[in-house]
Structure 1
Amino acid sequence: MTEKIDEMIERMQNDYIKFVRLQFVDIHGVPKSIALPSKPEEMESLFYDGLLFDGSSIEGFADISSSDLLLKPDINTYSPLSWRPEESATCRFICDICTSDGDPYPGDPRSLLKNALDDLAKKGYTYNIGPEPEFYILDEDNLGYPIPSDNASNFDVDPADKGVDFRRELSLNLEELNFKIEANHHEVGPGQNEISFKFDDALITADAVITYKQAIKAIVNNIAEFNNQKYSVTFMPKPFNGVEGSGMHCHQSLFKNGKNVFADPDAEYGLSDIGLYFIGGLLKHAFPLTAITNPTVNSYKRLVPGYEAPVHISYGLKNRSALIRVPAAFGESTRIEYRSPDPTCNPYLAFTAMLAAGMDGIKNKIEPGEPVNYNLFELSEEELESNGINPLPASLWEAYHSLENSELLMNALGPQIGNKFLDAKYAEWDDYRVQVFNYEQRKYLDI
């Protein structure tokens, strides 16, 4: 360990690092950080002992009566921040959170996922995820209101697609942050974009999602400032009425002894029994799971018919109207795609919860039934019901009430995170339901 720390301190000096950011997330997955001057003589004790901070000011963390918590940098998450100026070169370490005694803190979302993956490793498995976080690049109209940056659509090219230069610059910067970029393109909605990166171990991927969102916002903001423009980025699930929402489809698979256990080339669909059972578990727990993968009031304005987002609890082969899609199965690349999550979710909680649901399916051999091979959006509610296909929650209220009654998912979150998460969702819904919106005024003022 001492040798590794010495190598890291030397690397930071070679990168001319002036400041160190110690980063973590709150219960919602919102990044927080504490910045320190990079002084080689102080880095060794930082890596060994960590840094105390006040956890009572972070939502979902400690009470004021036991507020002292400890940030422990994960030395493997070192990353210079490419968008910071050279004269104040800054690096970032993602931290685990401990109690002041050095024990893992039960309210830390990252530690929750680490523990779940450690338990999974004892069964011989590793869990890989490849997310696809979509986002909108925004401009402003003459009154300063946000509007999409262009009117392009899926896979359009310039000049209609005004995100080409942004995505190129973003891709280059993300590669400097060690992302393995697979592709980038304009999405369906006006001003909507996607930059996909390769799947990896679930913890590495969860860290990457946080970094991805933070980097994209910062880089676009820097480009806009440099060019005296007003562009910005939002990961809001449904930023505009009448256009497609932004999702974060999660491709996932299990490996054992280096082999993809979802793959079975001799099976009818190229999918093993383990893969089918994993799907069965996700389908069984999909309703309460949605509270975690789609955690905001706005999330449920994306999960409506007509905009390609899933609405019904089902799975299909290559079927994009289903909640779970099985892309063409090709050996080690065999995977399932869970399509409801959106970028507002806390990836540490969402990945933990999806894993718990899938593993419950494997443990109890939950059959998912036959895949759906028709367009679910074209069926009436009566036809869907007759086929045994149930809807996802229509509101955050429905979702969190289902979550609080899910023994499996509440156990997966643990008592502290589970209860704090529910408290936050109760408060969010209560705040939302007392608001009066322009739509209501237009519709009802004359009654």
Structure 2
Amino acid sequence: MPHERPARLPGAEAGVLAFPDQRSVSRAAEARLAEAVGLAASIGLTIVHSAAFPLRTRRPSTLLGEGQVEAAKLAIEENKVGVVVVDAALTPVQQRNLERAWGCKVIDRTGLILEIFGERARTREGSLQVELAHLEYQRTRLVRSWTHLERQRGGFGFLGGPGESQIEIDRRLIGERIVKLKKELEQVRRTRGLHRAARTRVPFPVVALVGYTNAGKSTLFNALTGAGVYAQDQLFATLDPTMRAIRLPSGRTVILSDTVGFISDLPTQLIEAFRATLEEVAAADIILHVRDVAHPDTSSQRSDVLGVLHEMASGENPTLDEHWMGRTIEVLNKADLLGGIADVPGTDASAIAVSALTGEGLDILRAALDARLAANMVTLDYALPPSDGARIAWLYQHGEVLAREDADDCIRLTVRLSPADRARFEQA
């Protein structure tokens, strides 16, 4: 089955063009261009030229005006560019026309992000999600990519007739593969549901990290858990979800979940394909929204994350949209780039400044997690026989023991428990 992907060209010379328009007024043109350059560089492209063109109207044939096409062509020829990355969503016709005008390969924002995800995915789940997203994208581009296959094949069976063209066969094969992938991903969702049910039976609160790509989620994850999750100063360093148990100052155990980073104008194919991964956010007791507070575009990045969460919540995860605000703590990361946590404005109980790199502010964050989890808990007194070591250990593991009094015939514990843990303990 034909399956064209944007060529992996490590070391190839590339140009990046960003087209800020009326839909992107909240994001500075320089910030958009810098992000696009970072995306292209993250897959090994050598950036030899970049430029931002103001886009007043979107031309159906080439997206941008004739003068801009010609100006870009001169820069492409002068710098001997082999790949042009256009920081916009191109239609198949626009992509084809720009390739003809410039005489080189053109990749749009969606294709570039799909290529990055394809290189970063490590688990089978991640690979399935990327393949599904790519096929959804590719299906609309067969006209551009496979025009040489428009020839007709003979009829099938005894019906005769003109039969299917090769491009129709390609579309049908891609459609069949998409159906198969969706079934496999549905099985992933069921498996995740079973894992969540298991955590409910032996409950630990779940804390999910979300945020814009390269905000420092994985660095924070490593700092809190001591894990060795891949963390680099690059976009989309983490794609596959990772979970670890951590111990808070109260002694309470929570599960920390690191998820894929968000980005502005995230392709709709990826929002759907990664729904199974991001369901962890919907099931979380607390959401840590990690922000790069030192980034000049941090406010717009925050809006982009909230927008993706809202889009994910529509349909099958309405509870995410209804309750996630009350479960969210904003983590203003990279405070070290501003001089320290004392120099970060706007911090309070719902916005905590930290530096995952230096560790500054992490104790405050851990205490805030404890306080948020304790808000809905109840304080109870239990008297247990000394021989009932298993239940005593269970209370220490799942609750916060505030006081203990040992006597010959019983052990009295004052414990703070969640309502679910209280019901489970008293029904045992």
User: Does TM-score exceed 0.5, indicating one fold?
Assistant: no
TM, length-normalised to structure 2: 0.22
Larger radius of gyration: 2
> Comparing both structures, which one devotes a greater share of its residues to helix?
2
